Amino acid sequence: SQTIHQWPATLVQPVGSPLSLECTVEGTSNPNLYWYRQAAGRGLQLLFYSVGIGQISSEVPQNLSASRPQDRQFILSSKKLLLSDSGFYLCAWSEVRSSYEQYFGPGTRLTVT
Amino acid sequence: AQSVAQPEDQVNVAEGNPLTVKCTYSVSGNPYLFWYVQYPNRGLQFLLKYITGDNLVKGSYGFEAEFNKSQTSFHLKKPSALVSDSALYFCAVRRNFGNEKLTFGTGTRLTIIP
């Protein structure tokens, strides 16, 4: 069966510091991968998605970036965090041709101080 | 463009009563529709989906949803609510074409009152 991991689970970082969040998927090949941010426990904002290694599409221009160095690894980064980057970051995967639903990781709670 | 509306931010239901969480959508062409549930400080869990076929779809934890094309709705239902059903519920839609992204609603907080 497939599983998705995210780490760290929680993170407190000062303004201006760098960020690296990691997501890995097991039990599937060539998945679509997604990064979402959820603010104030409500709506989801799609940040990035990837359909393959090195292929990243950005939905929202901001100081975040994403990379996919391996088939089942998706990394969210920032060179300098802003207060507004605080939130709950969720990684998700879906199969390219199958049931179409996305499966979510447990999330990372980021607090920028 | 595609969109999802969840008109109720909060729904309160007494334990044992039937529950409904409403969702309407807008998409060009035929939709794929989904419901997810989120417990505090957790990721979203997939509940059920409508792709094609029977308008009434059944999912996890006794939930079901009815696709109504004329009303562009996909309401989530359960015949008898449990306190453990209290959570945040999200409806999502995408076009049934290619590698489309999901569009999520803003969520409905369901509280089951003992």
Q: Which domains does chain B have, with CATH numbers?
A: 3-113 (2.60.40.10)
Q: In a 10 Å sphere around its CB, with 0-12 CB exposed, 13-18 middle and 19+ buried, how is residue B18 labelled?
A: exposed
Binning pLDDT at 50, 70 and 90, where does residue A61 land?
low
pLDDT score for A99? 57
pLDDT score for A43? 84
Are A76 and A48 contacting, i.e. CB atoms less than 8 angstroms apart? Answer: yes
Probe site for chain A from B41, B97, B108 (most A CB atoms < 10 A): B41
- What's the CA gap between B57 and B22, in Å, rounded? 15
Q: Per-residue pLDDT averaged across B85-108, rounded?
A: 89
Residues of A in contact with B49 (CB under 8 A): 99-101
Residues of B in contact with A49 (CB under 8 A): 101
Beta strands in B52-106 (DSSP E): 56-58, 64-68, 73-78, 87-95, 103-104
Binning pLDDT at 50, 70 and 90, where does residue B100 land?
confident
Is the alpha carbon torsion for A101, A105, A106, A110 positive or negative? negative
Distance from CA of A85 to the nearest CA of B (A): 17
Residues of A in contact with B107 (CB under 8 A): 42-43
Closest by CA to A42, choosing from B21, B76, B9, B3, is B9
CB pair distance less than 8 Å for A101 and B49: yes
Residues of A in contact with B42 (CB under 8 A): 106-107
pLDDT score for B98? 67
pLDDT score for B63? 97
| CATH architecture group of domain A3-112 | Sandwich (2.60)
pLDDT score for A40? 76
The per-residue pLDDT for range B60-87, each reduced to its tens digit, is 999 999 999 999 999 999 999 999 999 9
For chain A, give every domain's residue range: 3-112
Of B19-23, B40-44, B100-104, the poorest mean pLDDT is in: B100-104
